[in-house]
């Protein structure tokens, strides 16, 4: 994984990953998290009421919109995208319209 972002970005990403309610956290071993090139961008949050399941939370300030979390893994060994269709790419403009402007 890449180093965590520490400096101000030169530009905002066009799209960012958004996790839907379909996310199960892949029973504690989410593949999307390993595909993300940015450290601590995709965080596994445990759901104690449904252990070992949880969900992924994407840090919108760290997501670079690369779409690696929704594509095939190394050498095409994994499924195309999330097996639960729990990751959607959303335009940053749309996300900020619902959640407020991100302080890049």
Tell me how far apart the alpha carbons of residues 22 and 38 are, in angstroms, rounded to a whole number: 23
70 in Cβ contact with 81 (< 8 Å): yes
H or E element, residue 99: helix 92-99
Prediction pTM value? 0.80
pLDDT at 10 over 80: no
Structural domains in the chain plus CATH codes: 17-92 (3.30.70)
DSSP label at residue 41: S
Q: Which phi and psi angles does 83 have, rounded to 5°?
A: -65, -15
Tell me how far apart the alpha carbons of residues 72 and 98 are, in angstroms, rounded to a whole number: 29
**19-34, pLDDT tens digit by residue?**
999 998 888 888 888 8
pLDDT at 2 over 50: no
């Amino acid at each position: 994984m890449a180093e965590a972002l520490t400096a101000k970005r030169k530009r905002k990403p066009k799209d960012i990953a958004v996790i839907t309610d379909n996310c199960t956290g892949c029973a504690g071993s989410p593949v999307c998290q390993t595909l993300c090139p940015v450290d601590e961008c995709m965080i596994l949050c445990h759901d104690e009421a449904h252990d070992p399941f949880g969900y992924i939370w994407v840090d919108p300030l760290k997501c670079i919109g690369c779409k690696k979390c929704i594509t095939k893994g190394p050498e095409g060994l994994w499924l195309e995208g999330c097996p639960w269709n729990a990751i959607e790419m959303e335009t940053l403009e749309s996300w900020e319209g619902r959640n407020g402007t991100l302080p890049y």
